Amino acid sequence: MIICILSGKGGAGKTFVACSLAKKLSRFSKVLLVDADVECPNASLFFEKKLADAKTVSGFVPEIDEKRCKLCYACAKVCRKNAIFYAPGKVPVIFEELCNSCGACIIVCKQNAIKKRKKKIGEVKKYEVSENLKILEGILREGEEEPMPVVKELLKEVGKISREFDFVIIDAPPGVKCNALACIEACNLAIVVAEATTFGIADAELAIRACELLRKEFFIVLNKLREENEIKEFVKAYGEKIVCKIPFSTEILHAYSAGRLPEINEIKLLVKKAVKGK
């Protein structure tokens, strides 16, 4: 059973819900917690853990062999990222920051003058929290633009080992762009964490639309709930989809800010739902 936790808005409580759910489920089953917010992964901060494995995620950048280059500039013309610059009469120059490692330049070069050079773009780390709980964390290297290759590598790793676990909980990145959708696509069940504010609800609706687009079953957790009045239309529209409502509490806020996961009853409802879903 693979569960993806998403929200649309950042700071809605994805990591809190993902970690609390993983911790609770790991009391009686084998759980893999996956931190797919590779730009800012935080889930592992909430656990005492041992690093069990670390893999480098690499991309490549093309490198031009000056001796072979016949100055045809086919490489520069084919590059849709405009990462290859040329001045007539000179060997083209590659701007690594703009390159997305598509390899089109290598294909068009008739002289075979372009080779691949490996480049580290991130890491996938595996941690051991307990016999029952493991964490897989993707990390994008600072300064790199594109998180997708790290997310893909992470999900590939999940695919390899998910059978060893009863539950896989994916903490997705905020937003609804392609990297978040890749996480939704990998799951059997999505949990949308909706922060109970005007911003939070609007972004949660985007996340819900993303689930519908990929035809994934989903349910909703309302988080930091103050007055239901503020969001009554949302509650009305998604009535039975909302399986739990976590009230706003300064105790949770304090504990969570310090890296603790306070036990709250609402998570039990989620555990029930997850077990039933299995």
Partner 1 sequence: MKSVAIVSGKGGTGKTSFTAALSVIAARKLRIVVADCDVDAPNLTRMLLSGNSEVKEEKTFSSEKAEIDKRLCKKCYACINTCNFGALRIGKDGFPEVQKIYCEGCGACTLVCKEGAIRIARINNGKIVYGKSKYGFCFVGGKLEIGESGSGKIVAEVKKKACEIAKNENAELLLVDSSPGIGCPVIASLSGVETAIIVTEPSISALSDMEKVLKVIEHFGIKPYTVVNKASINPKLKKKILEVCSKRKIEVIAELPFDEVFIKSVNSLTPLPLLTQKYDKVFEKILHCFLE
Binding-site ranges for partner 1 (CB under 8 A): 8-12, 15, 37, 39-40, 42, 45, 78, 80-81, 100-104, 107-108, 140, 142-148, 152, 173-178, 181-182, 185, 195, 197-199, 202-203, 206, 209-210, 213, 226, 230, 250, 253-254, 256-259
Q: Which is nearer to partner 1, 93 or 107 (CB)?
A: 107
Q: Which is nearer to partner 1, 167 or 256 (CB)?
A: 256
Which pair of tokens denotes residue 18?
A: 């993902």
> At its nearest, how many Å lie between partner 1 and the CB of residue 168?
19
**DSSP E strands, the chain:** 2-6, 31-35, 50-64, 84-85, 93-94, 114-128, 133-140, 167-171, 189-195, 217-225, 242-247
Residues 45, 127: Cα–Cα separation, whole Å: 11
Using DSSP, state whether 180 is helix, strand or coil: helix
Q: Which is nearer to partner 1, 102 or 264 (CB)?
A: 102
Strands 242-247 and 217-225, sheet pairing:
parallel
Q: Which is nearer to partner 1, 39 or 266 (CB)?
A: 39
Residues 13, 124: Cα–Cα separation, whole Å: 23
> At its nearest, how many Å lie between partner 1 and the CB of residue 139?
9
**Beta-sheet strand order (sheet of 31-35):** 50-64, 114-128, 133-140, 31-35, 167-171, 2-6, 189-195, 217-225, 242-247
> At its nearest, how many Å lie between partner 1 and the CB of residue 134?
20
Task: Let me know if 251 is exposed, middle or buried by CB neighbors in 10 A (0-12, 13-18, 19+).
Answer: exposed
> At its nearest, how many Å lie between partner 1 and the CB of residue 131?
25
> At its nearest, how many Å lie between partner 1 and the CB of residue 230?
5
> At its nearest, how many Å lie between partner 1 and the CB of residue 62?
11
CB contact at 8 A, 149 and 39: no
Q: Which is nearer to partner 1, 166 or 205 (CB)?
A: 205
CB contact at 8 A, 38 and 150: yes
Q: Which is nearer to partner 1, 128 or 146 (CB)?
A: 146
Q: Which residue, 220, 150, 213, is CA-closest to 185?
A: 213
Q: Which is nearer to partner 1, 54 or 213 (CB)?
A: 213
Q: Which is nearer to partner 1, 214 or 275 (CB)?
A: 214
> At its nearest, how many Å lie between partner 1 and the CB of residue 75?
11
Residues 122, 159: Cα–Cα separation, whole Å: 19
> At its nearest, how many Å lie between partner 1 and the CB of residue 9?
5
